[in-house]
Amino acid sequence: MNPAKPDTPSSNNAGRAWLPLLTGLAVLVADLASKEWALRALSPVLYGPRVKILPGLDFMLAYNTGGAFSIFHDQPWLITTGSALITVGIAIWCALFIRRHEPDVPSARLAFGLILGGAVGNLIDRVRFQYVVDFIHAYVRIGDSEYAWPTFNVADMAIVCGIGIFLFLSLFTNKLEPARAESAEKKESETPPEKLDEQVG
């Protein structure tokens, strides 16, 4: 009987990459499909006719030629270039995290997938149309006044959720802190003195 081969770092890294890749792909498919539906089903009239979903939530088509909160709306290629660089940066960050971080943090890999899938979804819009298709309109009505959040899409929700997971892990846990040095120190402190003498000898 041949002994089982131990997992190599490369095989572990490949296994860890599946969660962010599948998550990102699911976000991308959901985002593009929902935008295609919005383009076909909704009237592109900002603050015009809406599809009522829930109190405080409508579907309403809008085209965002700028970045967050429509900044640089008159320079779409600048936003497209910036979005591409950010997306590449996120992908590199994800790869380095999976390769170097111990112990494994599945929730962080899930967050990477959410952010990367959302970033790619919006980048595809900018390359195709020079704008991002938004259609989810959340608002609060007080009397005759309406206070609305900037219209957004599925990709935006995924990015916000991914960032939220990272913030939670950073602020309320120590899971994002590499534990290699800590584990080595703990192992050394737990080694009996006689074992240390044998190792030195």
Q: Where are the alpha helices (DSSP H) in 42-179?
A: 76-100, 106-129, 154-172
Judge contact between 136 and 68, C-beta under 8 A: no
144 is catalytic: no
Residue with tokens 């240390």: 196
Give exposure, 40-63, as e/b (b: 16+ Cβ within 10 Å): eebeeeeeeebeeeeeeebbbbbb
74 is catalytic: no
Judge contact between 159 and 119, C-beta under 8 A: yes
Given 74, 104, 134, 197, the catalytic residue: 134
Given 7, 74, 156, 197, the catalytic residue: 156
Amino acid identity, position 40: R
Peptide bond into 193 cis (omega under 30): no
- Distance CA(133)–CA(39), nearest Å, equals 8
Judge contact between 87 and 123, C-beta under 8 A: yes
Q: So which residues are the catalytic ones?
A: 134, 156
